[in-house]
Structure 1
């Protein structure tokens, strides 16, 4: 039997997303040896591949602009919005260190600029969102960090390698890891930081936590399988918390999604048209499409799936005309300072895009209402009632139930063929896992910390009660700051 290879270092970091890369950068600057483990073949997680910016208060940029939104307002709003189901000390520490973290990003080669929110409902919010100056440059700079970390021969970055167990006896002895061929290695170490991004890639954990797991569209890190959470729990960490889904908008599939930007089907997904749930009833003011977190939450609330209903006349109109509705994702794909487009169309390829989506099942077409209801498995009477009521709201320019703005009541659904875009609640990950103290150490049920372990980023309980709130960029901001906190606490404990 082949002998297990042994490594030795001071700190092991599990995961190279926002929290892991932030922790690594701090240890690198303080010359504390570490080994960074990354399950994938390149560094990065949801913060690299998906996030466009982060939340912060009291950054130098904000101070220069005279932004008066600060700690008192942020702490109060986040605490009350979460109905006091928060870890107050951790929240406080995150907020107080979030501004200084913005300066660190410059040093990391990941510069950001404080800018108005990417989301239409938040255009008048205080200036708290710091957007990466250039998305592609951000990704390229992230890829350069391993070379920086390992240049002096002290640190190592091991890709295609996962943590699988801990050797722990009244303190951490080693992290047991395995490469993608199943070969195990032992890393003798003093501390470990679990920055592996939650559990959205673990089908069993997702099914246990969420009744609608089969309908959720995972646009996050499939590598995140809950390892840090499970290994901490094995040592007695308290993992009791409401499940918190990182819901973020909706989409028909992984190919027709807001990141692809190459289908008219996706474009119409991002507009406030008519939506019905799996009972054929309207369930929300479709204007919620402009607030990604709440949009995702609304879909999660009705079983993770709904349908965008429209008719042939609507498709034909979009094909030939400019429509005074904003694509909800338009602003997210603008670089800093770029002016977004606030209308949609003409969409000359819309019929072809829909025809292709019909073949793949992402769109369902019916020659009449009864046919569409039958193909979707919806109650016919309920669908007819929903169309009748919606068409009346369009005619009157008055949505008496859900209060959609009159300027968005544009397209009735009256003449076949009728189309249904099959929409799923999109997720970027999970936001619950392990209860920690203000230093990001996992705690037992009695509140005592488990020494030598640190839990950061999306592995942490305590920032949210039951869902991702509308504080744009807060998950990514917390990931960077929590990784920094853990690295600083390790430095203190090693001194």
Structure 2
């Protein structure tokens, strides 16, 4: 079968920034770019935006974020600044799908030093201890930490943060003993490599020094009693006391009737202080809500009519997700690859048929 050759050659421009789309009589005629301090117009009737969303654009993130910006820890691509999305929005592209974030687990982050890291605190954050939200209430089965997507989404739904609680007896145990629990990151990566999971964490001989380090870096707090702890983390005193009392009851009964956490994790009652709270916050790998597209990856206006010559793929394309990232690790990568392939086929078909016939 003879294959028709569409292009004789292609060119990749590095260190080149798209500045604006050139429009004439409602049609794309070119794209203005800046390269080495100089601007030029590349003539084209077709553009495919594939910049990976807009997580690197603080203004856009703030506009579409449903939590306070300081509660979002960004692990996404800083170069994904949404330039193409904004250009096509000016042409009437439907932006109603923007505002969906790829929430991924939760992180213990220092508000004063984003580069701060402590391996013990990292490990403790990945375990199903007692969690309370900004109201001082328990809000979820904490072993949700074994599903990064669901964990990230529930954190986002609580305003982007929660606290996990520890007491001194628990810390003393963890200092010298292994815990027969599963580190959520070990569980995930072992499953990817088909390695056995140890189902052991610890001991943490330096746990007191590590907690003091977290306190020094403003993401952990220590108090002699629950009333003092509630004041330090700014939650309701009555809610926190009620939450801890109820959790202790569930531990005694060895049955989490409230949220269904496995009995294996119903350990360490909160009988006396000192008590510790460590703050975990929303973490995102990027934005996954983009411009509205159809099956051909054509960018649509609000009236569902395509902007002729405009296509969007990957995280620049909306519609595959609802309000959150699903429990399917790697789906955003898979969609990026496949949507790029499909958009390429659509562009080839457009150039073969011509605009008039293609859009009839």
2:246 corresponds to: 389
CA RMSD of aligned residues (A): 2.5
The runs of 5 or more residues in structure 2 that have no matched partner are 353-360
Answering whether residue 299 of structure 2 is matched by residue 442 of structure 1, we say yes
Shift, 1:208, TM fit: 2.4
Answering whether residue 198 of structure 2 is matched by residue 341 of structure 1, we say yes
Deviations 1:401-424 (A, max 9, x none): 112111111122233221111111
1:175 corresponds to: 31
Answering whether residue 127 of structure 2 is matched by residue 271 of structure 1, we say yes
2:262 corresponds to: 405
Answering whether residue 326 of structure 2 is matched by residue 469 of structure 1, we say yes
Distance in 2 (CA, whole Å) between partners of 1:417 and 1:32 is 73
2:355 corresponds to: none
1:380 corresponds to: 237
Asked if the contact 1:373–1:383 (Cα under 8 Å) also holds between the matched residues in 2, the reply is yes
Distance in 2 (CA, whole Å) between partners of 1:359 and 1:275 is 21
| Secondary structure, counterpart of 2:180 in structure 1 | coil
Answering whether residue 62 of structure 2 is matched by residue 207 of structure 1, we say yes
Shift, 1:226, TM fit: 2.0
Distance in 1 (CA, whole Å) between partners of 2:6 and 2:169 is 64
1:163 corresponds to: 18
Change in 2 beyond 3 A, CA 1:254/1:417: closer
1:492 corresponds to: 349
Answering whether residue 207 of structure 2 is matched by residue 350 of structure 1, we say yes
Distance in 1 (CA, whole Å) between partners of 2:170 and 2:6 is 60
Answering whether residue 92 of structure 2 is matched by residue 233 of structure 1, we say no
Shift, 1:440, TM fit: 0.8
Asked if the contact 1:242–1:465 (Cα under 8 Å) also holds between the matched residues in 2, the reply is no
Change in 2 beyond 3 A, CA 1:250/1:33: farther
Answering whether residue 99 of structure 2 is matched by residue 243 of structure 1, we say yes
Shift, 1:460, TM fit: 1.4
Match of 1:289 among 141, 145, 153: 145
Greater mean deviation of Cα atoms: 277-286 or 260-269: 260-269
Residue correspondence of structure 1 range 37-436 to structure 2 within 5 A:
155-159=11-15, 161-169=16-24, 170-178=26-34, 183-214=38-69, 215-241=71-97, 243-253=99-109, 263-334=119-190, 336-436=193-293
The runs of 5 or more residues in structure 1 that have no matched partner are 1-28, 35-154
Of the two, which has the highest radius of gyration? Answer: 2
Distance in 1 (CA, whole Å) between partners of 2:45 and 2:136 is 57
Shift, 1:437, TM fit: 1.2
Shift, 1:182, TM fit: 5.7
Aligned length: 343
Asked if the contact 2:98–2:291 (Cα under 8 Å) also holds between the matched residues in 1, the reply is no
Deviations 1:285-328 (A, max 9, x none): 11111111111111111111110111122222222111111111
Shift, 1:30, TM fit: 8.0
Change in 2 beyond 3 A, CA 1:190/1:330: same
| Secondary structure, counterpart of 1:221 in structure 2 | coil
Distance in 2 (CA, whole Å) between partners of 1:313 and 1:433 is 48
Distance in 1 (CA, whole Å) between partners of 2:215 and 2:278 is 9
